[in-house]
Amino acid sequence: MDLVACLLCLLISSRSWQSSWASGVLYPHGTTEGDAVAPKNDDGSTGMIHITVEFPYFDSLHTSLYVDTNGAISFLREVSQYTPDAFPLGNNWRLITPFWADVDTRYNHGGVYYRQTTDASILSRANGDVRGAFLSQGRFEATWAFVCTWANVTYYRRNEDTAATSNTNTFQAVLVTDEIHSFVIFNYDVITWTTGSASGGSSGTGGTPAQAGFNAGDGKRYFSVPGSRTAAIIDVENTTNVGVPGRWVFQVDNAEVTAAGDCSSSSRGGLVVSPIQGLIYGGTEVFMSGPCFNETDDLVCKFGGQAVPGYYVSELRAKCFAPPLFNKQRVSFQLSTDAGKSFRYRAFFIPTYHYDVEYDVVRANRAAWDNGGPYVIRWEVEKLNTSLVDIDLLAISNDDNGQVELHWIPVTRGMANSGTARLGELIQVAPLAALSGAIRASSAGSAVEEKNTSPVLWSDLHTLEWYAHAYITAVLLGQTKNAEHTSFIDDVIPDLRDRLRSTPKNWESIISALKVYRKDIAGSVCRSWFAKDRDVPLPGDLPPCPCTLQQALRDRGRYGPDPTCYQGSSYAYNCELNPGAEHCVISSGCSQSGGATQCCYDGKGRLLNVADWEIGGGTLDRAHMTCSHPHQVPYVSHFVNDVAPQHFCCLWSESQDLCRSTYFRRRPSRDCKGYVPPRIVGAFGDLHMVTLDGTFYTFNRLGEYVIMQTKDKRFVIQGRTQQIPTSRAGIMTRATALTSLAVTSGDGHVIEVNTTARRPIDVLVDSKRVEYNDLALGFMTGVSFHTQNTTALGISLQQFGVYLEIQSAAGFLNLKLFLPATFKGETQGLVGTWNDDPDDDFMARSGTVVPSNATTRNIHVNFGETWRTEENTSIFTYYNGTSHADYQDLNFEPLYEIPFDFQSNETRQRATQVCGTIQQCLFDFLMTEREDVAIATREFVLGIEKAVNDTKPIVTCGYLATPLNGTKHFTGYFAGNEVTFRCNEGHTLAGSSVRRCLIGGEWDGHKTQCRASGTTRLSYGGFLLLVLSLVVTKDMVL
């Protein structure tokens, strides 16, 4: 079913509605609402109206408009034409036409009313209309609206009674924007005529009837409401694309207008899913639009390989509930309307987990949770919209092979939805052992294990001390069979059975008694975990840590912020497991072992190490937070293997010795020995380049070029330059700057970043626009987008360890590129050949080297121009009939050098004031006559200098351990640092008491030991034997 057919279905289905009902479609209007009134006229206009926002329309921003009497709103010019022409129209006729016809307001009581408004009630109403019309706009928040109403207006009459007022129309256009997206709502109250007499009409009909729709003014792009310029338009008050007769809703900010309600039964029709991400646990209510749904459809949704039932909502919407999806990578989402026989509609869905947010089910009073209870949870009653709720535990454990297992355990059934519950008092069954899990609250009877029929609420993933106590109680009462010590918890049960011999044998008594022994329970669990974990080798393929926090913050291609501990976090429990740390990072790349390096730094930027009893130090984790691995589940495996043991060993055992000899022994810190910082290059301003070997040069040709590519072309960055206009309207410079970048992600995808007046940062992935606010959703495997404000974007390409830092300034793009040392010897393009030899930086595509001291023109022609892209090698997207050739100008001749008298003395003096001695800034100021361009260049140069300084290589000698029975004092492990050792009383120092880190990266002196005083030395067969006395505390595990 095509769009017109689907719309006709809507028209037919709404015939039973009377136009008197449709009067409710109009937004409040009239002078009592503060409207201005257009002058009474025929074929006139209000004149230019300045609006208080930049209204996006057909991908352009507008700050003024005209209200035209003949049923139109125009942007670039007034429109007085009374007979509507067929769209598309050119000549800058950029129109919004709710009902373009020959309106005459001179002789009757009707009029044209308009106002721009930020009234909360109007914006709230608009939000509801937009969100209801477009599934993808669930977060839309209008900031401005323009309400324009043609109320009781009649048509132009030639040779007819000009006093007649019986045939009148009332219709409305509402323009709405959040200054990013924009929408237009057409509301039709009463339509009784379609045509004026001068347009061939008779008594208001016939001739050339009214046109409703949108026209870009370029002769190409338009949208017409079905029935336009036909007799059927008289019934527009009874049609709709949103299920409300008389209302039509459109999105108008993009290059093309999108109509709401564009449903299709064709497999070619798009499927829109919202939200596109949900918790890994499952239960997210997912809505769908795109197909035309029928109540008789047998709907099935498939998330990856898991099928769940779907539910009909309306002709335009359906829904389903996501199953558990323990996968960081996005999964395919498929929809079947025939009970799963075929899946004709496809999209994707992103399972996710957030460590640094508060979940719908809140663990109240976290201090109590860490000190034996009470274990209270809270939730908002309204979010479940039910009188009775069920509480379940999703318990997570590892089997003997390290595979994650999921278990659904009921906590309580059918309790009153009071918004609070005490888990320790509710749970009465604990059939199996588990140390990690999450709590689910759902409408009573609506959720059975992973299957849901209504929305559910979840807690965070947490360590299950409360459930461990319940499990022990169940075993002691004989309700659960102790499975021969197969879990960490089971090992403590024989001892507790003995200790609790006299305790009454009921649930409440034992649960209460276990609080006394919680430290002992934690210690026993810790030792059991340690005994099993030490049989598995630690990952040996993990990268070293950056030596300083500055390096870690810059090396975003290989290290990302740890969501549990990072600078600027507002989360109440930030750095809970890394006390004393200011910021932690995690290695981004997915290793073959599945592990990860966590690196943590204090407030001075110093790398912390748990072996120095800096408990905020990072750890070598057995399971990466987000990577997929054959024996691991993203998020969950990390929590089970690396987080839960820390709770038992270090927090709840309250024994520093136990923590140090178990958890930190199995999860040690990594030092920075062997770390190599990234190399930084830049492309900025009129176009200045910094090569990988540190050469600055200018290349300001016009076209598309290879900024960098690897020799095997697996990694490619291309840039598009355009001319820089001067500050004088219509005057162009002989200078160019970047307006677009395109980069391959390593798995066949292409990411494009453009800058426009409307969108400073505009991102396309595989030629499809991704909204800036959606970039952080994690929809690309191995790619992370870092968003801070709408003028900057960071892109981490984890497969390559590359980071791109892109800024939009003065209408152009500036690029910093951070490359790991693995690219050395593999680069080509405008950034040069990376081999630490600047003399061959200007290597042409043919392999010919242009001398580094060549003239600027020689560098342009014989080096830079050889890296212009060809049509078959370009990775850019071309829209609206454009092609590769449209962006190339082989005849453009830049100004290679600036003559001394190129600008006035006054201009040169101002340039010096702005730029100081920064040559690229001076060049851009004098070349473009634009201070904003020069300032952007100045700030970029200062920024790249700081980035280079932050990533200077640091010579380190690596970690030096504290000798057994001794202490050490140190300031660091870098070249020039000293480490001083002392032995405890009763021990004598052997080796060096002071060791210095040498510039070559090695420690001087000899290994330090603390030997017990009076150690007996025995010689046997030429070997020296030492008999040592060793004191071991009761909590140490050797």
User: What pLDDT, on a 0 to 100 scale, did the predictor assign at position 642?
Assistant: 94
Beta bridge partners of 144: 177
Decide: 282 and 323 in contact? Cβ < 8 Å. yes
Whether omega for the bond prior to residue 209 falls within 30 degrees of 0, making it cis, is no
- Containing 942, the helix (H) or strand (E) segment is helix 931-950
Q: How far apart are CA 147 and CA 116, in angstroms?
A: 6
Tokens of 153: 């207006």
Map residue 763 onto helix, strand or coil.
Answer: strand
Task: Give mean pLDDT, residues 845-855.
Answer: 94
User: What pLDDT, on a 0 to 100 scale, did the predictor assign at position 269?
Assistant: 54
Q: Residue 1000's pLDDT band (boundaries 50, 70, 90)?
A: very high
User: What pLDDT, on a 0 to 100 scale, did the predictor assign at position 11?
Assistant: 34
Q: Looking up tokens 């330059």, which residue turns up?
A: 721
Q: Residue 1034's pLDDT band (boundaries 50, 70, 90)?
A: very low
Does the pLDDT of residue 537 top 70, yes or no?
yes
Does the pLDDT of residue 898 top 60, yes or no?
yes
Q: CB atoms < 10 A from the CB of 923, how many?
A: 23
Does the pLDDT of residue 746 top 80, yes or no?
no
> Highest mean pLDDT range out of 154-168, 715-729, 1016-1030?
715-729
- With a pLDDT cut of 70, the percent of the chain lying above it is 93
Helical axes 905-915 vs 931-950, angle rounded to 10°: 30
Q: How far apart are CA 601 and CA 549, in angstroms?
A: 6
Closest CA to 477 of 453, 446, 509, 451: 509
What is the residue-wise DSSP string for 183-242?
EEEEEEEE------GGGTEETTEESS--EEEEE-SSSS-EEE-TTTTSGGGGGGGG--SS
Closest CA to 719 of 806, 843, 798, 835: 806
Q: How far apart are CA 437 and CA 408, in angstroms?
A: 10
DSSP 522: H
Decide: 584 and 553 in contact? Cβ < 8 Å. no
Reduce the secondary structure of 110-122 to three states and give it as a string. CEEEEEEECCHHH
Does the pLDDT of residue 1023 top 60, yes or no?
no
User: What pLDDT, on a 0 to 100 scale, did the predictor assign at position 596?
Assistant: 95
The residues, any chain, with a CB within 8 Å of residue 280's CB and separated by 6 or more, are 324, 325, 326, 327, 351, 352, 353, 634, 635, 636
- Predicted structure pTM score: 0.85
Torsion of CA 464, 468, 471, 473, to 10 degrees: -130
Q: Residue 666's pLDDT band (boundaries 50, 70, 90)?
A: very high
pLDDT tens digits for 184-226?
999 999 999 999 999 999 999 999 999 999 999 999 999 999 9
Q: CB atoms < 10 A from the CB of 444, how many?
A: 18
Closest CA to 685 of 674, 696, 676: 696
Burial class (CB in 10 A: 0-12, 13-18, 19+), 935: middle
User: What pLDDT, on a 0 to 100 scale, did the predictor assign at position 896?
Assistant: 85
- Which of 81-112 are b and which e, b meaning 16 or more Cβ less than 10 Å from the residue's Cβ? bbbbeebbbeeebbbbbbbbbbbbbebbebbb
Residue 287 CA to chain centroid, in angstroms? 20
- Containing 386, the helix (H) or strand (E) segment is none
DSSP 27: P
pLDDT tens digits for 37-51?
999 999 999 999 999
Decide: 409 and 471 in contact? Cβ < 8 Å. no
Q: How far apart are CA 329 and CA 780, in angstroms?
A: 7
The residues, any chain, with a CB within 8 Å of residue 11's CB and separated by 6 or more, are 226, 235, 238, 239, 240
Tokens of 366: 């976290």
Report helix, strand and coil shares of the chain as percent, to nearest 5. 20, 30, 45
What is the residue-wise DSSP string for 133-145?
H-GGGTT----EE
Higher per-residue pLDDT: 163 or 242:
242
Q: Looking up tokens 């990577």, which residue turns up?
A: 627
User: What pLDDT, on a 0 to 100 scale, did the predictor assign at position 193?
Assistant: 96
pLDDT tens digits for 599-609?
999 999 999 99
Q: How far apart are CA 492 and CA 531, in angstroms?
A: 14
- Which of 547-564 are b and which e, b meaning 16 or more Cβ less than 10 Å from the residue's Cβ? bbbbbbbbbbbbbbbbbb
Which range has the worst mean pLDDT, 606-615, 736-745, 810-819? 606-615
pLDDT tens digits for 399-417?
766 677 889 999 999 999 9
Residue type, 387: S
Closest CA to 811 of 896, 894, 724, 728: 724
User: What pLDDT, on a 0 to 100 scale, did the predictor assign at position 533?
Assistant: 92
Q: How far apart are CA 45 and CA 64, in angstroms?
A: 13
Decide: 697 and 648 in contact? Cβ < 8 Å. no
Task: Give mean pLDDT, residues 916-942.
Answer: 94
Tokens of 886: 């449209």
Cα torsion 898, 900, 902, 905: sign: positive
Sheet with 596-601: strands ordered across:
559-561, 583-587, 596-601, 620-621
Beta strand 750-754 pairing with 436-443: unpaired
Closest CA to 760 of 54, 215, 138: 54
Q: How far apart are CA 543 and CA 539, in angstroms?
A: 10
The residues, any chain, with a CB within 8 Å of residue 839's CB and separated by 6 or more, are 849, 851, 852
Does the pLDDT of residue 1030 top 50, yes or no?
no
Q: How far apart are CA 400 and CA 631, in angstroms?
A: 12
Q: How far apart are CA 646 and CA 516, in angstroms?
A: 21
- Containing 414, the helix (H) or strand (E) segment is strand 404-416
pLDDT tens digits for 68-113?
999 999 999 999 999 999 999 999 999 999 999 999 998 777 899 9
Q: How far apart are CA 59 and CA 181, in angstroms?
A: 10
Does the pLDDT of residue 66 top 70, yes or no?
yes
Question: Number of C-alpha atoms within 13 angstroms, CB side, residue 560?
Answer: 24
pLDDT tens digits for 456-515?
999 999 999 999 999 999 999 988 764 444 578 888 888 999 999 899 999 889 999 999
Q: How far apart are CA 237 and CA 90, in angstroms?
A: 29
Q: How large is the greatest C-alpha to C-alpha distance in the chain, in angstroms?
A: 132
Tokens of 130: 């937009």
Q: Looking up tokens 């690897």, which residue turns up?
A: 710
Reduce the secondary structure of 93-108 to three states and give it as a string. CCEEEEEECCEECCCC
User: What pLDDT, on a 0 to 100 scale, did the predictor assign at position 165?
Assistant: 58
User: What pLDDT, on a 0 to 100 scale, did the predictor assign at position 59?
Assistant: 86
pLDDT tens digits for 251-284?
999 889 999 987 765 545 578 899 988 998 899 9
71: left (phi over 0), alpha (psi -120 to 50) or beta: left
Tokens of 106: 């001179």
Does the pLDDT of residue 9 top 70, yes or no?
no
Instruction: Determine the Cα angle at 418 with ends 413 and 420, to 5°.
Output: 85
Tokens of 594: 């599945």
DSSP 326: -
Tokens of 908: 């040169």
- Containing 19, the helix (H) or strand (E) segment is helix 19-22
Q: How far apart are CA 816 and CA 811, in angstroms?
A: 17
Instruction: Determine the Cα angle at 378 with ends 376 and 382, to 5°.
Output: 160
Task: Give mean pLDDT, residues 640-656.
Answer: 93
Closest CA to 644 of 373, 368, 397: 397
Q: How far apart are CA 8 and CA 619, in angstroms?
A: 63
pLDDT tens digits for 335-367?
999 999 999 999 999 988 888 788 999 999 988
Torsion of CA 433, 438, 442, 445, to 10 degrees: -20
- Mean residue pLDDT across the chain: 89
Q: Looking up tokens 């040709």, which residue turns up?
A: 701
pLDDT tens digits for 117-143?
999 999 999 999 999 999 989 889 999
User: What pLDDT, on a 0 to 100 scale, did the predictor assign at position 1025?
Assistant: 40
Helical axes 465-476 vs 507-514, angle rounded to 10°: 130
- With a pLDDT cut of 90, the percent of the chain lying above it is 71
pLDDT tens digits for 500-510?
989 999 988 99
DSSP 323: P
